Structures are given as structure tokens and as C-alpha cells.
Amino acid sequence: MKTRLKLLGLLAFLSLSSASLLNAQNSTNPPLRITRGGVDTIYSANHIVLGVTSPNAKVTVNGEGVKVYKTGSFGWQGNLNIGDNELRISSIVDGKISTKILNIYRSTAPARRPVREEPKYELIDTTFIVETLEGAYFNYGDGTDRLGGAKVSFLDEGIPLKVVQEYANLYKVQVSQNRYYHIPKSYVEPSDKEIKLVNSGNWRLTGGEDRDRLTISLGAHLPYVVRQELDPNAIIVDIFGARCNSNWLTQKEPFGIVDYIDLEQVEYDVLRVKIVLKSRSWGTRISYDRGGNLSIVMKHAPAPTLEGMTIGVDAGHGGPRSNGAISISGLKEKDLNLDMAYLLKKELENRGAKVVLSRAKDVDVPMDERKKCFIDADADIVVSIHCNAGGSPFAVMGASTYYKWIHNRDLALAVLKRIKELDGVGDFGLVGNFNFSLNAPIEFPNILVETQFLSNLPDEERIADPAFRKAMMIKVVDGIEDYLKLQE
């Protein structure tokens, strides 16, 4: 009996020792985590597996070696057979092995793709008056994407609007007999103001040291939309609810950038203001005074050098609820954006510019506050820094720049050309009419830079390298300087 107890004790000791030894060995095995592709069932032959391990590991998938990037990320793409498939993924470092086995069934059934449905909402016909709050803007319609509806332009606060329909988070407003726009409910409040059809009064154009100002007497806060054209170089403002009775267009010389002003009654209750420029406006601000006089202020172009300019730098995302994209290895976009914002700030300051940051740490700053920060600073140019994501980790890659207004296209193109000079950087494209909130202001030239795809293996490796991020921000500054030379 004693002998048996001793034997059982010895076996228990050996068992515990083996478990301890195994745990000790496992603790030194390379980490191995599958981030994509560990699904039970697929519906097409092609399959992608992504994972993360030690950067110095050798990874195989069913014995086939795959590249491990400096981030530790790796990826495999191949065709699976109909029925059951086993993928054995191994990571090896100094003879230590970690293995994950994926059992995946390839079905012959058609892929079950989710059906995208248009949002359903109750459409309510109604009639009441609201007035705009700070940051208000018109949308063209009730469509939307991840950045909201397609924006027309911003509006001053305190403008009464007639609501004719409401649904979801939007009001449909009638601004003239034949024109309708949509406005988010969060940017208006109920009002007892009267909707007026007014006769326009006199105009007065004056030049200044760094700005030209056109003041139009209206006697009421009327809705408007604004755009800038390139041929001829002009600012166009349509004022709704106004009939032309402007018989005095007083123009006091000298003017800075305005060539001439003109008007047109394009509809019974739509008055068009046309401001033709000798050189490009460096930003336009539109606002009402208490008496209902509309001011259109056009900033002159600064000297074509970064010396003395004020540049706004926006680090996209931020805070606990807005990480942005997350890379294959777990890098957070918000952290990379902030790092690049500081690198961009340093390079701009090295060349004589003053820099204003929309956020200086990991906090969530609302878009309205970011915009106001740059307007209050009288920024000359604003650049928003982001990282991209989406699509195939093997194919969709590259840098891209984005603009809303056509007059910002040259800035976006100049920066993209410089970024593409970096080794390995692909061209994802130049994107116009982009619906991002910080591309919509007309108060300053602005662009958004999508640096690299965090969802792409080579792009992720590049953007994870501090030296590459610094080199890219230097190229952004080079592109801004190229743009400034175009204005000479």
C-alpha cells in the first residue's frame, strides 16, 4: 500500500513537473495571434489570413513560408478546396514554435452578402420656422455616407429658415420659390422670426492692407450658398429671398484682389453676387451684422513663403472613442496622426511658420471646435493628417490627398506629388469634392492627407517607422512650398 502511494506521488510529481516545464517552454515560445481569416465557413475559393508574431520570426502556412514584416505582421492568401480545409500556421524563433490550426469549411452555396438597404424614416410634411446656430451648413439632399451628407456650404448663425419636411436627423428647408436644401436638426433651433422677401440695397467694396470687403445692404438675415470658380477666378454667392434694388455699387480704390463686382437676378427671389478676382482669394468669410448687412471678406494671398505664415495642423481622431483605423499589428491611427502632427509642426517651424494644432494630446476634439480653432487663429493653410484603411491587405495601398473645393485642388496635388517621391509609396489618388468636415470651410485653403493604409502590410511597415513618418511630413512641407510658388 505504501509502495503504491509512493508511486502515485511520484507520478503526480512528474506530471506537475512536466506541466511546469511545458508552461516554461510555452512562455518562451513566440507570440502568435490571428487577426483575420479565422472563420468557420467561406463561400469563395480565395481566402486571406493575417496575423502578428515576433518581427524576427519565421512563419509558415501549411509549410509554405510567408513574409514577416518589421511590425510582426504577416499575411497569406490562397485558394481553399470545397469542403474541409486545415491551415496550420507556425511561428518559429530560435527553435521555439507556436502553432495555430484553422479549420475552415468552403461551402458551395452562394456567398451570403448583406443586402444594403436605404435608411427608412418617417417623412413628415410640416411648416414651421427655425434659425441657424453656429456651425450650420446646408446639405444637397438626404443622402449620406460615413462622413454625413454631401455639404453645400456653411451658413452664418441667426438665419431663419422655413421647414417643409422633417425626417431622421434632417430638416428639408425651402429657401426660395424653387430651391430646397437639407440641414441637420442639431444646427438649428425653433424661431419666431419672420421669413422675408426683401429688396436689396446698396453695395460697398473697400480694399485693405490684407483683405477686401464687400458689404451688401439687405435689412434681413437671408440664407445663401457660396462657391468659388476658377475660370474666371470668381466668388459666387446666391442670396435667397432677395430681389435686386441695388442701384449703387460703390467701389473705393485701391482694391487688393478684386477685379470687379457684378450682380444678376437669376430667379425671381434669388440674387446672385459675382466677385471677379485678379488673383486667388486666400480665404473668404461671410457674415451678417445686426442690421442685416451681409459682409463678404476676401483675404489676400500671403507672401509666397512659409516664413511668417500661420499653418493649422489637424491630427485626425483622438480620445477614447475615436481610435480611427487600427493596423494589423495593433497600431492606432490616432496615435500615429498625433505623432505626425508634431513632426509636421517641427518642420514647418524650422522653415519659419507659426503652427496651430487642433489637438495637442490624446483627446477627442469635435469638428466644430477644430474648425473654430483654425478660424480664430486666422490660419493661412490647414492640413489634416490621417491614416487610411480598407480593401485587400495585399493590393489596396498608397498615399492620397483630398479636397472639397476646386480652388484647393492645386494644393492637394502639389503635396501628393511630393509624397510619392518616397521609396515604395504608392499612389491611391487625388480625391475631390471630399465630404470631410475640415475640407468644407472656405475661410482658408485646406487639404486632408491620408498617409498610408494601416490595413496594407507594406504600408503598415512603412508608417510604423518613425524615420519614414518624419520623411513623409518633410515631403508634405515641400509640397506646400511648391504650391506657394504657384501663386507667385
Map out the domains of the chain with their CATH numbers.
30-106 (2.60.40.10), 124-190 (2.30.30.40), 199-299 (2.60.40.3500), 310-486 (3.40.630.40)
The answer on pLDDT for 75 being more than 90 is yes
Amino acid 146: pLDDT: 80
Least confident of 124-128, 196-200, 421-425: 124-128
* pLDDT of 25 strictly over 80: no
Confidence label for 302 from pLDDT (cuts 50, 70 and 90): very high
Per-position b or e across 299-314, b if 16+ CB within 10 A of its CB = bbbbeeebeebbbbbb
DSSP 191-216: --PPP--EE---EEEEE-SSEEEEEE
Per-residue pLDDT tens over the stretch 440-460: 999 999 999 999 999 999 999
What's the confidence (pLDDT) of residue 174? 97
pLDDT single digits (tens) 143-183 = 887 888 899 999 999 999 999 999 889 999 999 999 999 99
Provide φ and ψ at 102, rounded to 5°. -105, 125
Name the band, by pLDDT with cuts 50, 70 and 90, for residue 331: very high
Please report the pLDDT score of residue 117 as a whole number: 67
Grid coordinates representing 465?
A: 517607422
> Which has the minimum average pLDDT: 2-6, 16-20, 212-216, 242-246?
16-20
In the chain, what percentage of residues exceed pLDDT 70?
93
Q: Supply the mean pLDDT for the chain.
A: 92
**What pLDDT is stored for residue 21 in this prediction?**
29
pTM of the model: 0.90
Each residue of 394-434: pLDDT tens digit? 999 999 999 999 999 999 999 999 999 999 999 999 999 99
Can you give the pLDDT at residue 208?
86
Does 481 have pLDDT greater than 60? yes
| Residue environment code for 229-259, b if the CB has 16+ CB neighbours within 10 A, otherwise e | eeeebbbebbbbbbbeebeeeeeeeebbbbe
Q: Which of 119, 118, 158, 156 is nearest to 138 (CA)?
A: 156
Q: What is the SS3 assignment for 418?
A: helix
Over 70: is that where the pLDDT of 8 sits?
no
The predicted pLDDT at position 138 comes to 96
3-state class (DSSP) for residue 43: coil
Whole-angstrom distance, CA of residue 79 vs CA of residue 72 = 24
Q: Is 362 helix (H, G, I), strand (E, B) or coil?
A: coil
Q: Which amino acid would we find at residue 119? A: P
pLDDT above 90 covers a percentage of the chain that reads 85
